[in-house]
Amino acid sequence: MGKGKRFYYDSDEKKKVILYITGIASLCGLIVLIFGLSIYKSKKDATSQIAQMQSATNEIINVESASSSEDKSVNEVIAENSISENTVNETTEKIAIKTDVNETEEPVEEKEEEPEEVVLEFMVPLAGEISKDFSDTNLVYSETLKEWTVHMGIDIKAEKGSAVSASESGTVESIKNDPRYGLTVTIAHANGFKTIYSNLLSAEFVSEGQTVEKGQTIGSVGSSGVFEIADSEHLHFEMTENGNTVNPANYWKN
């Protein structure tokens, strides 16, 4: 059998072969490097483009949101103005209606409530003889004045110091020394009545503003009235109704 052939290179040829292989390897490495840089650049450009697209999209969204907010604000302002105008119109209509009603309705007169009338039964304030009657038309003779004159009360004769009672319940209006009738107590009653007790000796049993009951002692018989000083001790008793002097005997209940 024949043996295979072996190739033998000299040193120059080996150098050429090594250079050739080295050149091929370098070329391949360069190609790989260029390809890698190309891929990296493409990827970077793609990332940049994506970022720009996202930024542009966000700006569009923000503009649309702002536009919607402005539109909403404008709409709300229009709505509020519309509500205000409606409120003013409604108020004006109500005022007009109320004015029309007031013009057509007649004013209602408030009726004053009249005070309830109290039943009064006046009593004789002192047990004794009537020495002088009431007389507002017929003249009677006055021993003190020595003349004929009217007598606007009733004189009831009694011993000095005899107790004088309230003819009806009421309030002590005044206690004073009258220049003509002497020590005088005035009691105000219901229904516009007043009773006047004059020519008294004392009135220490009551005070002004005090409420007294019917029959309660208010003073004692005396002779303090200068107008009737010549007469014996007695009570000079008068009565008024709404400011007008009346005959007490017409109101006494036995």
Model pLDDT for residues 214-225, shown as the tens digit of each residue: 999 999 999 998
Tell me the mean pLDDT in the region 164-186: 95
Same domain for 24 and 69? yes
Q: Which residue has the higher pLDDT, 2 or 130?
A: 130
Residue 139 and residue 45 share a domain: no
Same domain, residue pair 30 and 96:
yes
The stretches of the chain forming alpha helices (DSSP H) are 11-104
Q: Confirm whether 115 is domain-assigned.
A: no
Q: Is the model's pLDDT at 35 over the cut of 80?
A: no
Residue 108 pLDDT? 64
30 with 134, same domain? no
Are 101 and 133 part of one and the same domain?
no
Are the beta carbons of 208 and 175 closer than 8 angstroms? yes
Confidence (pLDDT) at 30: 79
DSSP helix/strand/coil, 229: coil
82 and 178 in one domain? no
Q: What does the pLDDT average to over 91-112?
A: 55
Under the banding of pLDDT at 50, 70 and 90, the label for residue 101 is very low
Q: How confident is the model at residue 145 (pLDDT cuts 50, 70, 90)?
A: confident
The confidence band for 46, taking pLDDT boundaries of 50, 70 and 90, is low
Confidence of residue 254 (pLDDT cuts 50, 70, 90): low
Whether residue 242 is found in the same domain as residue 134: yes
Domain count, the chain: 2
CA atoms within 13 A on the CB side of 56: 6
Say if residue 235 is in the same domain as residue 161.
yes
pLDDT at 164 over 60: yes
What percentage of the chain reaches a pLDDT higher than 70? 67
pLDDT > 50? residue 198: yes
**Which structural domain range is residue 174 located in?**
129-250
Higher pLDDT residue, 148 or 195?
A: 195
- The pLDDT value given to residue 69: 47
Give 240's contacts (C-beta < 8 A, 6+ positions apart): 193, 194, 196, 246
Q: Are residues 148 and 96 in the same domain?
A: no
pTM of the model: 0.55
| Cα–Cα distance measured from residue 120 to residue 168, given in angstroms and rounded to the nearest whole number | 7
Q: Tell whether 223 and 153 lie within a shared domain.
A: yes
How far is the C-alpha of 222 from the C-alpha of 236, rounded, in Å? 10
Query: Looking at per-residue confidence, does 116 or 165 come out higher?
Result: 165
pLDDT at 70 over 50: no
Task: State mean pLDDT over 194-207.
Answer: 95
Domain membership flag for residue 101: yes
Whether 140 is in a domain gets the answer: yes
Looking at the structure, do residues 150 and 53 belong to the same domain, yes or no?
no
For residue 116, is it within any domain? no
Mean pLDDT (the chain, rounded): 78
We report the CATH number of the domain holding residue 153 as 2.70.70.10
135 and 224 share a domain?
yes
Residue 192 has pLDDT above 80, yes or no: yes
**Residue 244 above 70 pLDDT?**
yes
User: Above 50 in pLDDT, residue 249?
Assistant: yes
